[in-house]
């Protein structure tokens, strides 16, 4: 047994630090398998639900596509030179060196979920931008849950080689709003010197899905990683806490999260950044809206060397009912000369703002909707227009269910 | 255009304004003077129908219709527009977006913003980090888009620098159709503490708010001169005001 396997075996019952514990025995790893298909001919998924998660099966305005349904990879192809898109399994076969990148940033024995991702490995995606390559359009990756009570355990590797630029949009969806299942996704990102990656994840899960992503990012000198996370649909239980390690001079990371928790949804979303190189920069922005569900918005920034700069902002709004938002910002400065700050606010919708807009001729309902739309809107620098459209579209859809 | 009849207004059970009577005819501009805390803003808020300002008795009649208990948005749709003195910040709502939401005449936001030297602010969150003068221009810009018939302005000149006071004066004159000498269809009620705005916008009448009511009324220039000379406290004992109150009682 390999060392990794042994560690995974030992962590099989290890409860995660955050989020409600999940009995993995309730979810099977045996799902029907599907053959590979061309992008325009995929017929086992609900196209509209995918589109709402930012995945366009026409492949229009995309630099490549990856589609996985339960444990089957249906499609994995790039459409732009310099960009590689394939299944993790295939990439591991093709590139012997890739083993070095696996379980390098995320520890296999983090908890029972990482352990399962190793012991019941069901593929995942490998996306790589070759040195100097710049993706014109985003690469889209879709992880789709179709079978009932299935656990999808994927391991993704993303590499942006020196001087490259990569946009990735990951859409996660279920076959129906009633589907029950578990998604475990390990993702390891390598942002090399002066490379830039924007990673936008739109979750379109359903009320009976549990989600446990485990992500880490290593950013080298001059590298930039922008993470946009959008979850606006009901989800039974979601817990994620991506960690960024800024190891090169001037490395930059930004985490933008837009979260909505309807009644019955439990979201525990955080991000961590360890700034261990001079001039490293970090910004975390979270907008959390509860219409009756629970949101924990965590953030941890660790400043290890002089001259780093980091700022965190969390705005929470509880619209009505029994909603709860727990903002937990943490700053850990380990030396003199770090510049770190945070601001957090949790409140209800301000009556003063509603009345201001009513004085401009908006009904109370229109005023509330306008304020909420504004609240959920985050200016994201450097976001390609197509991604901005997808995020705006996701917000619009959530509004329809709100009002 | 606007009639306030014995209007008594309270906030959280405390009476702020008592038996206010005011008549503003179409085409007229009235200045409302008064000390800080005299209830000027409350009066404008009550006319606009802002929730916490409760009308205890009396009526607000606008264009012949009793609007005393009408929600603010209906009053706005009927043509009443207000400039807030301290508007809230609305994060994520761009100046350009609010103009598109309220625009009644289909006017180009860029063009309107240019009139107020405000084009650089169109993509900014509404009132977020705006200076005092920028807030005034943002408020007037929204009113230009709304093009109301009754314009309520709360201290339009306060916090505005000398460069922009002309710009603001021009916008107010446009709102009130001051370039027309006849058939003026707009009316205005402008709060001013200093009276400085009178140098830029001509007014037909002035009134002083004191002792929770309209304490005195007359030529706005004469009133502000008296106030400048003697201060607001003199208003309380001034013969002119007493005559005015007596006259009201007789009515």
- Average pLDDT of the segment spanning A194-207: 90
* Average pLDDT, rounded, for chain A: 91
What does the pLDDT read at residue A403? 52
- Alpha-carbon span A46 to A206, nearest angstrom: 14
- Alpha-carbon span A8 to A115, nearest angstrom: 4
B78 backbone dihedrals φ, ψ, rounded to 5°: -85, -5
- For chain B, which ranges sit under pLDDT 70? 251
Lowest mean pLDDT among A311-315, A340-344, B223-227: B223-227
Q: How confident is the model at residue A380 (pLDDT cuts 50, 70, 90)?
A: low
Closest-CA residue to A243 (of A223, A268, A219): A219
Q: How confident is the model at residue A400 (pLDDT cuts 50, 70, 90)?
A: low
What does the pLDDT read at residue A120? 94
For residue range A264-309, what is the model confidence (pLDDT) as tens digits?
899 999 999 999 999 999 999 999 999 899 999 999 999 999 999 9
What does the pLDDT read at residue A387? 67
Nearest CB to B101 within list A350, A352, A362: A362
Instruction: Please report residues of B whose CB lies closer than 8 A to that of A359.
Output: 48-50, 72-73, 75-76, 82, 84
Instruction: Please report residues of B whose CB lies closer than 8 A to that of A316.
Output: none
- Alpha-carbon span A336 to A334, nearest angstrom: 7
- Alpha-carbon span B69 to B133, nearest angstrom: 33
Q: In terms of CA atoms, which chain A residue is nearest residue B71? A: A358
Strand B53-62 relative to strand B2-11, pairing: antiparallel
Q: How close A353 comes to chain B (CA, Å)?
A: 6
| Contact (Cβ atoms closer than 8 angstroms) between residue A148 and residue A119 | no
- Average pLDDT of the segment spanning A72-85: 95
Which residues does residue A296 pair with via DSSP β-bridges, in sequence order?
Answer: A268, A326
Q: In terms of CA atoms, which chain A residue is nearest residue B51? A: A355
Predicted confidence (pLDDT) at residue A241 exceeds the cutoff of 90: yes
- Alpha-carbon span A75 to A72, nearest angstrom: 9
- Alpha-carbon span B236 to B38, nearest angstrom: 12
Which tokens sit at A5? 């396997």
B193: helix, coil or strand? coil
B178: helix, coil or strand? coil
What does the pLDDT read at residue A6? 96
Predicted confidence (pLDDT) at residue A58 exceeds the cutoff of 90: no
Q: In terms of CA atoms, which chain B residue is nearest residue A361? A: B73
- Residue B179 to residues A183, B24, B80: CA-CA distances in angstroms? 68, 19, 21
- Cα B57 to chain center, whole Å? 22
- Alpha-carbon span A314 to A290, nearest angstrom: 13
| Contact (Cβ atoms closer than 8 angstroms) between residue A309 and residue A277 | no
Asked if A361 and B48 come within 8 Å (Cβ–Cβ), the reply is: no
Which tokens sit at A368? 């509330």
Residue that is written with structure tokens 């918005």 in the block: A297
What does the pLDDT read at residue B193? 82
pTM: 0.82
Nearest CB to A360 within list B71, B76, B88: B76
Predicted confidence (pLDDT) at residue A337 exceeds the cutoff of 60: yes
What does the pLDDT read at residue B218? 85
B184 class by beta-carbon count within 10 Å (0-12 exposed, 13-18 middle, 19+ buried): middle
| Contact (Cβ atoms closer than 8 angstroms) between residue A242 and residue A271 | yes
Instruction: Please report residues of A whose CB lies closer than 8 A to that of B87.
Output: 356
Asked if B73 and A315 come within 8 Å (Cβ–Cβ), the reply is: no
For residue range A5-43, what is the model confidence (pLDDT) as tens digits?
999 999 999 999 999 999 999 998 888 899 998 888 888
The three state secondary structure string of chain A is: CCHHHHHHHHCCCCCCCCCCCCCHHHCECCCCCCCCCCHHHCCCCCHHHHHCCCCCCCCCCCCEEEEEECCEEEEEEECCCCEEEEEHHHHHHHCHHHHHHCCCCCCCCCCHHHHHHHHCCCCCEEEEECCCCECCCCEEEEEEECCCCEEEEEEEEEEECCCCEEEEEEEEEECCCCCEEEEEEEEEEEECCCCEEEEEEEEECCCEEEEEEEEEEEECCCCEEEEEEEECCCCCEEEECCEEEECCCCCEEEEEEEEEECCCCEEEECCEEEECCCCCEEEEEEEEEECCCEEEEEEEEEECCCCCEEEEEEEEEECCCCCEEEEEEEEEECCCCCEEEEEEEEECCCHHHHHHHHCCCCCHHHHHHHHHHHHHCCCCCCCCHHHHHHHHHHHHHHHHHHC
Domain B2-250 is classified in which CATH homologous superfamily? Answer: P-loop containing nucleotide triphosphate hydrolases (3.40.50.300)
In a mutational test of the A interface, the residue from B45, B46, B82, B90 whose CB has the highest number of chain A CBs within 10 Å is B90
What does the pLDDT read at residue A57? 85
- Alpha-carbon span A278 to B89, nearest angstrom: 36
Q: In terms of CA atoms, which chain A residue is nearest residue B85? A: A356
Which tokens sit at A128? 């790589």
Q: Where are chain B's structural domains?
A: 2-250
| Contact (Cβ atoms closer than 8 angstroms) between residue A274 and residue A304 | yes
């Amino acid at each position: 047994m390999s060392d990794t396997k042994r560690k995974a075996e030992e962590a099989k019952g290890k409860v995660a630090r955050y989020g409600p514990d999940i009995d993995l025995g309730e979810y099977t790893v045996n799902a029907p398998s599907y053959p590979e298909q061309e992008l325009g001919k995929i017929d086992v998924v609900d196209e509209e639900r995918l589109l709402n998660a930012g995945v366009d099966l026409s492949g229009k305005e995309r630099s490549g596509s990856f589609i996985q349904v339960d444990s089957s990879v249906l499609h994995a192809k790039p459409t732009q030179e310099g960009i590689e898109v394939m299944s993790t399994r295939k990439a591991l076969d093709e590139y012997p060196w890739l083993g070095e990148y696996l379980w390098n940033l995320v520890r296999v024995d983090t908890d029972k979920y990482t352990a399962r991702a190793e012991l019941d490995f069901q593929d995942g995606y490998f996306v790589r931008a070759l040195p100097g390559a710049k993706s014109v359009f985003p690469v889209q990756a879709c992880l789709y849950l179709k079978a009932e009570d299935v656990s999808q355990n994927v391991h993704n590797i993303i590499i942006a080689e020196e001087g490259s630029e990569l946009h990735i949009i990951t859409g996660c969806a279920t076959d129906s709003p009633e589907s029950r299942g578990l998604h475990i996704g390990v993702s390891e990102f390598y942002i090399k010197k002066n490379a830039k990656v924007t990673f936008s994840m739109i979750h379109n899960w359903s009320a009976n899905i549990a989600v446990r992503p485990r992500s880490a990012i290593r950013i080298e000198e001059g590298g930039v990683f922008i993470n946009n996370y959008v979850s606006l649909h009901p989800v039974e239980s979601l817990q994620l806490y991506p960690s960024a390690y800024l190891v090169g001079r001037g490395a930059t990371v930004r985490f933008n999260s837009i979260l909505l928790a309807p009644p019955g949804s439990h979201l525990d979303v955080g991000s961590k950044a360890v700034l261990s190189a001079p001039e490293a920069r970090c910004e975390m922005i979270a907008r959390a809206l509860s219409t009756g569900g629970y949101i924990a918005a965590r953030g941890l920034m660790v400043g290890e060397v002089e001259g780093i700069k980091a700022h965190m902002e969390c705005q929470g709004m509880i619209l009505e009912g029994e909603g709860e938002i727990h903002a937990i910002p943490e700053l850990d400065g380990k030396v003199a000369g770090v510049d770190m700050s945070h601001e957090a606010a949790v409140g209800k919708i301000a009556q003063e703002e509603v009345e201001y807009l009513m004085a401009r001729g908006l009904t109370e309902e229109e005023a509330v909707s306008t304020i909420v739309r504004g609240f959920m809107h985050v200016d994201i620098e450097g976001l390609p227009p197509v991604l901005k459209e997808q995020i705006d579209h996701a917000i619009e859809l959530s509004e329809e269910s709100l009002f | 255009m606007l009639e306030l009849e014995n209007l008594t207004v309270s906030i959280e059970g405390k009476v702020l304004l008592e038996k206010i009577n005011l008549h503003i005819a179409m085409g007229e501009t009235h200045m409302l003077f008064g000390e800080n805390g005299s209830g000027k803003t409350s009066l404008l808020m009550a006319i606009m129908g802002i929730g916490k300002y409760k009308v205890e008795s009396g009526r607000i009649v606008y264009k012949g219709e009793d609007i005393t208990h009408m929600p603010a948005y209906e009053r706005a749709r009927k043509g009443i527009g207000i400039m807030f003195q301290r508007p809230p910040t609305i994060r994520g709502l761009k100046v350009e977006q609010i103009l598109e939401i309220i625009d009644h005449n289909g006017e180009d936001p860029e063009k309107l913003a240019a009139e107020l030297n405000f084009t650089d602010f169109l993509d900014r969150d509404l009132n977020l980090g705006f200076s005092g003068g920028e807030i005034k221009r943002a408020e007037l810009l929204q009113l230009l888009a709304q093009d109301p018939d009754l314009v309520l302005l709360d201290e339009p000149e306060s916090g505005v620098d000398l460069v922009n006071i002309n710009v603001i004066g021009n916008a107010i004159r446009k709102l009130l159709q001051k370039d027309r000498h006849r058939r003026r269809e707009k009316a205005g009620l402008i709060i001013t503490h200093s009276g400085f705005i009178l140098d830029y916008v001509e007014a037909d009448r002035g009134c002083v708010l004191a002792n929770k009511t309209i304490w005195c009324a007359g030529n706005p220039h004469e009133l502000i001169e008296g106030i400048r000379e003697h201060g607001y406290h003199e208003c309380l004992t001034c013969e002119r005001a007493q005559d005015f109150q007596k006259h009201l009682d007789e009515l």
